[in-house]
Amino acid sequence: MAPGLDFSDWGAKETRKGTPVVVKMENPNYSVVEIEDPDAAFRPVEKSRGKNAKQVTWVLLLKAHRAVGCVAWIATLFWALLGTIKKRLIFRQDVDMASEKLGKGKLLFTVIKAFLVTSLTILAFEIIAYFNGWHYFQNPSLHIPRTSEIQGLFHLVYVTWLWFRADYIAPLIQALSKFCVALFLIQSADRMVLCLGCFWIKYKKIKPKIEGNPFKSNDVEGSGYDYPMVLVQIPMCNEREVYEQSISAVCQLDWPKDRLLIQVLDDSDDESIQCLIKAEVATWNQRGINIIYRHRLIRTGYKAGNLKSAMSCEYVQAYEFVAIFDADFQPNPDFLKQTVPHFKDNPELGLVQARWTFVNKDENLLTRLQNINLCFHFEVEQQVNGAFLNFFGFNGTAGVWRIRALEESGGWLERTTVEDMDIAVRAHLNGWKFIFLNDVKVLCEVPESYEAYRKQQHRWHSGPMHLFRLCLPAIITSKIAIWKKANLILLFFLLRKLILPFYSFTLFCIILPLTMFVPEAELPVWVICYVPVFMSFLNILPAPKSFPFIVPYLLFENTMSVTKFNAMVSGLFKLGSSYEWVVTKKAGRSSESDLLAAAERESKTTNQLQIQRGASESELTELNRLKAAPVPVKRVNKIYRKELTLAFLLLTASVRSLLSAQGVHFYFLLFQGVTFLLVGLDLIGEQMS
């Protein structure tokens, strides 16, 4: 902590404190003493009186201690800054050296660097002008000085900059800001309509229902319902942390064993993980579960290629429905009984989607912020679109498809990284309807590290733009109604996938900071305060317990718009990173079903020799060694410095716009310069991975 410095006495040498008191003595032999302030009574009156040397020494020592402490604090701060720069720029610690992935993706960060240098140059002009007293904005009108007022060449340059800024830069920023504000209002209106639709659903209690109880029967076996053939697929790739709990949860589904087949679709390239998954599948197979292990030697098409390869098996033709669960999803035993009956007597229904719920939503600040977004996505967007339009984007997991709908829509295609959205759009164009079940929840995980979350968001925002390029001709030439085409093009793709990241990045990450350097292009208060806060309240309504995190959520969403905008541009123009799939790292959090199955797993290990009858003793020893292998230590979660400083920069610019007092203008400029410097150091030292 910096030592406290008291500056209150610097300019008060001639100031009198207290009320003057005059003391008069009746004896004329005594002199008159005038006390000007309380401390004057204790100061020597006559020069002949000596000073207390001990008191003077203590005062000097105290002041010297304060001065040394201040100097030491400044030196420590400066040394720490130099150490950070040395580590980042010279030794390049904590820097990803993936130079092969630079390419065109580096263009955005090059633009940000150029913007940084320009901003720092303008900031230097502003600071020098402030110290020289060149204030021309004490009133709303711009004052251009006359020739007699010019005080040198530098002053002339500064005045020229003011004129150029007011006549050329400010109009461009104002025009762009008006365009972005218009997009902002359109997107906000769409959010409000969705929220009103959600309120109407809650008020009218609109939700898909199953007529009667199809599983109610008087006989013991419950044969009153004709159980259809269901295929369950678990695609995974190097999922050491979650493979066991996922397979365990799916194998405990309450469905007749002769009407159920489970496919474990493993794309792992790690042989040790393959052995573990094979052993887990063999264990459940010995316990009477109809489960199959499939492994591809060549991982083409990522998840879409994996699912396509599995659907090409001949035995799949005997099944009517397919349920898909990613490796970290843990469905309840009654999942199929809550979803599959909706297909009965509804031949136009192609998909039943369940809602996600998260076992680690309170793990850290990042998971809490993700929970806000995903709760709004499921509670509002998916539920409203499913209730009123019978269409929404398939989430890739926790859903049940009619296999005939998949086949008639072209099956799984490997042309994009959002194969779930791709098949949903093609099925919608073929006339199939969707149902969203908000009451059926499936446990899963959200990324706990920022790096995993950033890569996930890049895939989620680049894939839709890539898909939009590919399926736009099919949408235009399809035979569906015109209003459905308009909904797909204008709302589903343009407004929610393209316009949202564009205006968020441009308005709040470019224009808002520029208003600190160009006061003529000031944004209205309702744009930077009232509307964003109101929309944040709407977003947080489905997760009311997250209300204390509304300010970090607002700042975090604005800073993440940099990543989302970069991903959107990458997908729209088909850049190198638009078709890149990085498996999201999981932590393997336990759910209630895992805890209930703990005793079974313990007994399974004790009876392993009996279950694995076909394995030799050496194979069992190797399997135990693989299972006992320590899990790699999870890296400490951190919010990268450039996102954090950008968040403070946006907060500073917002407060600066709200506080129009000229006295605080310079201090906000100075604070902005420091944040820009931190962002610049981080961008220079870190290459985009």
Helix-helix angle 450-477:365-376, to 10 degrees: 20
3-class secondary structure, 23: strand
d(CA 620, CA 613): 10
420 is catalytic: yes
Q: Which of 267, 328, 422, 594 is an active site residue?
A: 267
Helix-helix angle 170-204:531-540, to 10 degrees: 30
CB count within 10 Å of CB 138 equals 8
CB count within 10 Å of CB 92 equals 13
Q: Which of 266, 326, 328, 420 is an active site residue?
A: 420
In terms of DSSP bridges, do strands 349-358 and 399-402 run parallel, antiparallel, or are they unpaired?
antiparallel
- Exposed / middle / buried, residue 363 (Cβ in 10 Å: 0-12, 13-18, 19+): middle
594 is catalytic: no
In terms of DSSP bridges, do strands 349-358 and 291-295 run parallel, antiparallel, or are they unpaired?
unpaired
d(CA 409, CA 430): 7
In terms of DSSP bridges, do strands 21-23 and 33-35 run parallel, antiparallel, or are they unpaired?
antiparallel
CB count within 10 Å of CB 520 equals 17
CB count within 10 Å of CB 664 equals 13
Residue type, 158: Y
d(CA 599, CA 493): 48
CA angle centred on 315, ends 311 and 321, rounded to 5°: 60
d(CA 216, CA 419): 37
Cβ atoms of residues 339 and 400 within 8 Å? yes
d(CA 575, CA 578): 6
CA-wise closest residue to 680 among 242, 123, 171: 123
Cβ atoms of residues 387 and 362 within 8 Å? no
Query: Alpha carbon of 589 to those of 250, 327, 605: distances in Å?
Result: 16, 12, 21
Catalytic residue numbers, as ranges = 267, 420
